[in-house]
Amino acid sequence: MMAVNAAGAGRLAAAARDRGVSRFLVLSSIRAVAGASMAAPLAEGVVAAPTDAYGRSKRAGEEQVSAAFPGAVILRPPVVHGAGAKGNMARLARAARLPVPLPLAGLDGRRSMISDANLAAAVSLLLDHPATEGRAFHLADGAPLTVAGMVTAMRTALGRSPGIFSLPFATKLLKALAPGMARQLAGDLIVDDGALRGLGWQPVEPASAGLARMVRAAAGLAQTRL
């Protein structure tokens, strides 16, 4: 991760500078400044405190890019969703497709997220806007969602009822067996994107649109594999 996210990003920024590139944007991550959950909303001025190897590599990448290309723009998205999303979001989409109720109502952590379309719109604005050089920006679709809210949006897109219920024992078991995952699902991670919105940026779609694309793409992939 350090070789790609930090050293590789720094070399690319230096090469762009040496070849006279006028604008450079590094796609970092909100995990460059925070862990899996935080009590307060994260604005750009927060003291960086990454808690894992991925976050530390992204933070190091920001520093190396800024050193090589002082006017570079840093963009820190939270989890990205939409067609083709991978990792935890892909697993959540697979769970949403299951024809069974899910015991997710007890996971009340609110999580900011960003759709692929909203992320692309933000990148376009930041590369063209004259007041962005050398600055960092956070972004989000809008109001944060709980895991239950994400599954509800995906099942609605599939024409199904939410099928969400509370099972306190399951929540306690998750916290005991997988504390890291529990922190991601039960803790808040809310992004303050006031600086970006102050430039005139607005999401081009609601979070439900990206979640719908993601679960429909997952459904299509499953049909192809069958």
User: Looking at residues 186-201, what average pLDDT do you find?
Assistant: 93
What's the rounded Cα separation, in Å, for the pair 80 and 114? 5
- Residues 199-224 have pLDDT tens digits of 999 999 999 999 999 999 876 654 43
Average pLDDT, the chain: 90
Provide the residue ranges of all domains of the chain, joining segments of one domain with +. Answer: 2-225
Exposure string (b/e) for 35-54, b if CB count within 10 Å is 16 or more? bbbbeebbebebeeebeeee
Q: Does 3.40.50.720 match the CATH number of domain 2-225? A: yes
Spell out the SS3 assignment of 115-182: EHHHHHHHHHHHHHCCCCCCCEEECCCCCCECHHHHHHHHHHHCCCCCCECCCHHHHHHHHHHCHHHH
pLDDT tens figures, 87-120: 888 888 998 999 999 888 878 889 999 999 999 9
pLDDT in tens, 51-88: 999 999 999 999 999 999 999 999 999 999 998 888 88
Q: What is the pLDDT of residue 181?
A: 63
Q: State the DSSP code for 36.
A: S
pLDDT digits (tens, 9 = 90+) for 139-188: 999 999 999 999 999 999 999 999 999 877 766 766 665 666 666 667 89
Q: Which long-range contacts (CB under 8 A, 24 or more apart) does 41-49 make?
A: 41/190, 41/191, 41/192, 42/138, 42/189, 42/190, 42/191, 42/192, 43/138, 43/192, 43/194, 43/195, 44/76, 44/135, 44/136, 44/137, 44/138, 44/192, 44/195
What is the per-residue pLDDT for 158? 93
pLDDT attached to residue 47: 94
- pLDDT of 115 reads 97
State if pTM tops 0.85. yes
